[in-house]
Structure 1
Amino acid sequence: MPRPTKFRRVEFLPKYNYFIPLGKKKCELEEVVLKIEELEAIRLKDIEELKQEECAEKMHVSRQTFQNIIDDARKKVAIALTQGKAIKIAGGNYTTNFCKFKCVNCGKVYEINCEHDKASCPKCGSKNVMCGKKAEFCSKRCKGKNNW
């Protein structure tokens, strides 16, 4: 029995998740599915130009696992570009550092990066906010499921 896949940490979620070759008929269109963590691997290595070890650390995986992820990602992109296939960015085994918070004063629900942002309401500035994952007042990184 294989080991369960660990969640890979990603810091970037794409605004656009579907790319199609221009001039190809929809009925002829085939697609390649690029996982979120595969896109993150490409972003870290090819855009941020980090070393493989740094990329692996950021994604919380081993160097070998990172290499496997980026190899799969690059192959999928190469197939899409050379064979005129659409690229759909979806799915995978990933987690983010974003947590949902709710302001007790004004009721606004918002997401922040728990490791970098302050837990104060962007609407009214109140620090009286409830973390959606712990269902208690907090301003630190959270774990668990959303309780409200």
Structure 2
Amino acid sequence: MARPFKCRCICAKPKTTCFVPENADETGMVVIGYDEYEVIRLLDYAALTQEQCAEKMNVSRPTVTRMYDSARQKMADALVNGKTIRIEGGDVIVCAAMKPQCTHEKHCCHKAKNNQD
């Protein structure tokens, strides 16, 4: 019997959801899910470890690794082949407010929202 699917928790949906190559000629599109975007944001932008990322997203560390590998493969395909990157979809839960473990987090989306108010 398969293990039940856990919803992935993300801080917020990205503001920019589409990247189009300058010389786009309808060569295709890759779709990166919100969960894959969040993994890239947490690991590469916020420089968290995979364990920290897994804790924030409420998933296992091997799940983070699979999502990260998938997102990197899709981004490489888009860059090498001149494809559009669209960020959308996935079975995710968006945080309604800052979590206690994000208090000292430099790149928390909720801190950015509060600074704009």
TM-score category by the smaller chain? 0.7 to 0.9
Cα root mean square deviation, aligned: 1.7
Q: Which residue of 1 aligns with 2:21?
A: 21
Structure 2 spans left out of the alignment, 5+ residues:
101-109, 111-117
> Is the deviation greater in 62-71 or in 1-10?
1-10
Q: Is the 8 A contact 2:39 2:67 kept in 1?
A: yes
CA contact (8 A) 1:5 1:93 kept: no
Q: Alpha-carbon deviation of 1:114? A: 6.4
**Which one has the largest radius of gyration?**
1
Cα distance change, pair 46–114 in 1 and its aligned pair in 2 (3 A) = closer
Query: 5+ unaligned residues in a row in structure 1: which ranges?
Result: 99-112, 118-148
Mapped to 2, the partners of 1:47 and 1:94 lie a distance apart of: 20
- Normalising to structure 1: TM-score of the pair? 0.63
The structure with more strand, counted as a fraction of residues: 1
- Normalized against structure 2, the TM-score is what? 0.79
For the Cα contact (< 8 Å) 2:33–2:88, is it kept in 1? yes
- 2:12, 2:95 within 8 Å by CA — same for their partners in 1? no
Alpha-carbon distance between aligned partners in 2 of 1:115 and 1:45, rounded to the nearest angstrom = 18
Instruction: Please state how far the C-alpha of 1:4 moved relative to its aligned partner.
Output: 3.9
**In the alignment, which residue of structure 2 is the partner of 1:76?**
74
Larger helix proportion, structure 1 or 2?
2
Mapped to 1, the partners of 2:11 and 2:3 lie a distance apart of 25
Q: Per-residue CA shift, 1:113-142, capped at 9, x if unaligned?
A: 26478xxxxxxxxxxxxxxxxxxxxxxxxx
Report % sequence identity.
Answer: 43
1:2 CA displacement: 3.6
